[in-house]
C-alpha cells in the first residue's frame, strides 16, 4: 500500500503523470489548459464526437476560451478522444460531467454513473479518480467507491478516490483555475495524500477536509448560500416595488456597511449549472434522514417565480399603452444566464421566452454572445440574434432586459425602445417607458 501511494505521489510531483480529464466543458477545458500549461501531458475524454474533433483541430467551442489556447495545448501534447479504453494510460482521471435535475427536480446521476461505468473496465493500480461534479453528500462513497473496487482494486491501497468540487466562474476576470482554492476530500488518508499531490501542482491553494462527504457538503453550502441570499433579495425586490422603492438603490446603500452585509442583486431568476440545481441535491438527500430543508425550498420557490414576475411586469407595461400581451412583438435582451458569457444552462431568459410564446407573443432575442439559439436538452427556439438598430428596436412593442451584457448599447436601447422591462437595474434614472422588474 505504502509503495503504491509513494509511486503515485512521485509521478505527480515530477510531472511524469498523464492527466485524464473526462468531460470537456466549462469545467474540464480550463483544467486541461492549466495542467497543459505547467508541463503535464493531458488526455481529454468525451462522448461528444464533434467536441473531440474541434479540440483536435485546435478550435474552441466556449466563447471565453480562445481557440489559440486550444491550438497551443494541442501543439504541446494535448489530445482528445472518445475512446474510453485509453483510460488505462492515465495516472489521474478527473471526472467533470453534468449533474442536472430530472423533471421531478430530483438528482439525475446518470452522467456520473454512466461515466464511472465507462471507465471502470480500464482502471488499474496506481491511478487516482477524482469526481468534480457537484452532487449530494455520499455520492463518491455510495456510487463511485463500489464501482471502482468491482474489478478487485482496493481503494486506498491500489487505487485512490477523492472528491474535489469544481469552482469555475465563467467570465469572471478576477479568478482563474490556478487562483481559486481547491477543496478536496479523500476516501482514505492515502487517497487524500495522492489527490493533494495531483492538485497542488496546478492550484495555488489546496484545502483538505476530513472526508469526501464533507467536500460534497462544502460545495453545496457555497451554492445554497448564494441561492438563499438571491431568493431573499428577489423577495425584497417584489416588496420594494410594491412600495415604490428602488431595490437596487437600497442594496447599493446597504453595501456601504463595511461589516455584516454582502450585496446580492435581484434578477429575472436563477441560471447556470449550479445555483438553480444544487440546493435540490441536498433537499433530496435530506429526505433520506427524515429532514425537511425549509430555507432551501423556500428560496427555490421565490427564485423559480421570478420569470413569471418579469412577465407580469411586461403585461402591466403593455396594458398601460393599451396593448394585449397576445400578438405583441417582444425582444429579449440577453439569453445567457449571466453577463458577458455564452453559457445558456438553466437561463431564466429562456423560461421567460417560453412563457411569452405560450401566451401568444411573437418572441425574438438579441445576445452578442449567442448568435444562434443553441440546441438544448429541454428547450428549442429556431431563432438567431437580432441586430440592435434604432429601427429594429422601435419595431418591437417591448424589450425585456434579462441579461445585462456589457456589449449592449444601453443608450441606443433606451432612446429607441417603446417599452423597456428592466430586470437587472441597469436603468437607474426614471423614465415613463422603463419598468423595473
Q: Is residue 334 part of a domain?
A: yes
For residues 38-49, give the mean pLDDT: 97
Residue 334 maps to which CATH number? 3.40.50.720
- Name which residue leads in pLDDT, 83 or 278: 83
378 has a pLDDT exceeding 80: no
Q: Are 167 and 53 members of one domain? A: yes
Read out DSSP for 126-172? T-EEEE-S---TTHIIIIIHHHHHTTSPPBTTTBEEEE------TT-
Looking at every residue in the chain, the average pLDDT score rounds to: 94
pLDDT at residue 342 in the model: 92
Q: Is residue 229 part of a domain?
A: no
87-132 residue pLDDT tens: 999 999 999 999 988 888 889 999 999 999 999 999 999 999 999 9
Q: Is residue 17 part of a domain?
A: yes
CA–CA separation, 73 vs 107, rounded Å? 34
Q: Is residue 360 part of a domain?
A: yes
pTM above 0.85, yes or no: yes
294 has a pLDDT exceeding 70: yes
160-191 residue pLDDT tens: 999 999 998 877 888 889 999 999 999 999 99
Residue-number span of the structural domain to which 118 is assigned: 2-210
The separation between CA 394 and the C-alpha centre of its own chain, rounded to angstroms, equals 34
8 has a pLDDT exceeding 70: yes
418-428 residue pLDDT tens: 999 999 999 98
**% of the chain exceeding 90 in pLDDT:** 88
Q: Are 86 and 8 members of one domain? A: yes
274 is catalytic: yes
Q: Are 205 and 256 members of one domain? A: no
Q: Are 185 and 308 members of one domain? A: no
Banded pLDDT at 1 (limits 50, 70, 90) = low
For residues 4-29, give the mean pLDDT: 95
Helix (H) or strand (E) holding 435: strand 434-436
Angle at 217 between CA 28 and CA 299, to 5 degrees: 95
Catalytic residue among 90, 96, 191, 274: 274
Q: Is residue 306 part of a domain?
A: yes
Banded pLDDT at 417 (limits 50, 70, 90) = very high
Q: What is the 8-class DSSP label of residue 436?
A: E
**% of the chain exceeding 70 in pLDDT:** 100
Amino acid at each position: 500500500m505504502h509503495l503504491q501511494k509513494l509511486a503515485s505521489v512521485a509521478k505527480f510531483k515530477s510531472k511524469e503523470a498523464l492527466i485524464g480529464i473526462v468531460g470537456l466543458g466549462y469545467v474540464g477545458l480550463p483544467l486541461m489548459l492549466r495542467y497543459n500549461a505547467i508541463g503535464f501531458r493531458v488526455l481529454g475524454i468525451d462522448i461528444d464526437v464533434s467536441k473531440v474533433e474541434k479540440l483536435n483541430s485546435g478550435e474552441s467551442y466556449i466563447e471565453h476560451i480562445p481557440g489559440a489556447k486550444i491550438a497551443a495545448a494541442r501543439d504541446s501534447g494535448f489530445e482528445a478522444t472518445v475512446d474510453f479504453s485509453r483510460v488505462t494510460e492515465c495516472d489521474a482521471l478527473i471526472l467533470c460531467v453534468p449533474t442536472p435535475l430530472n423533471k421531478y427536480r430530483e438528482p439525475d446521476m446518470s452522467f456520473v454513473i454512466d461515466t464511472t461505468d465507462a471507465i471502470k473496465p480500464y482502471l488499474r493500480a496506481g491511478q487516482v479518480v477524482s469526481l468534480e461534479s457537484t452532487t449530494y453528500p455520499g455520492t463518491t462513497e455510495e456510487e463511485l467507491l463500489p464501482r471502482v473496487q468491482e474489478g478487485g482494486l482496493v481503494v486506498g491501497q491500489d487505487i485512490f478516490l477523492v472528491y474535489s468540487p469544481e469552482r469555475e466562474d465563467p467570465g469572471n476576470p478576477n479568478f482563474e483555475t490556478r487562483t481559486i482554492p481547491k477543496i478536496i476530500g479523500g476516501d482514505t488518508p492515502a487517497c487524500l495524500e495522492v489527490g493533494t499531490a495531483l492538485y497542488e501542482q496546478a492550484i495555488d491553494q489546496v484545502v483538505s477536509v476530513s472526508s469526501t462527504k464533507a467536500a460534497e457538503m462544502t460545495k453545496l453550502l457555497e451554492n445554497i448560500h448564494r441561492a438563499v441570499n438571491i431568493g431573499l433579495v428577489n423577495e425584497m425586490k417584489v416588496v420594494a416595488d410594491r412600495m415604490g422603492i428602488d431595490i437596487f438603490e437600497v442594496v447599493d446603500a446597504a453595501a456601504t456597511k463595511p461589516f455584516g452585509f454582502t450585496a446580492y442583486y435581484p434578477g429575472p431568476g436563477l441560471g447556470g449549472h449550479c445555483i438553480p440545481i444544487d440546493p435540490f441535491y441536498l433537499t433530496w438527500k435530506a429526505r433520506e434522514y427524515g429532514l425537511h430543508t425549509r430555507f432551501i425550498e423556500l428560496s427555490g420557490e421565490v427564485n423559480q417565480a421570478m420569470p413569471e414576475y418579469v412577465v407580469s411586469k411586461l403585461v402591466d407595461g403593455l396594458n398601460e399603452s393599451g396593448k394585449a400581451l397576445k400578438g405583441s412583438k417582444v425582444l429579449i435582451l440577453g439569453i445567457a444566464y449571466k453577463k458577458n458569457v455564452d453559457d445558456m444552462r438553466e437561463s431564466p431568459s429562456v423560461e421567460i421566452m417560453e412563457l411569452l410564446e405560450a401566451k401568444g407573443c411573437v418572441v425574438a432575442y438579441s445576445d452578442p454572445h449567442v448568435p444562434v439559439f443553441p440546441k438544448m436538452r429541454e428547450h428549442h427556439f429556431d431563432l438567431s440574434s437580432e441586430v440592435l438598430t434604432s429601427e429594429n428596436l422601435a419595431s418591437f412593442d417591448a424589450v425585456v432586459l434579462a441579461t445585462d451584457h456589457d456589449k449592449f448599447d444601453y443608450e441606443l436601447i433606451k432612446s429607441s425602445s417603446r417599452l423597456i422591462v428592466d430586470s437587472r437595474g441597469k436603468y437607474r434614472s426614471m423614465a415613463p417607458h422603463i419598468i423595473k422588474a
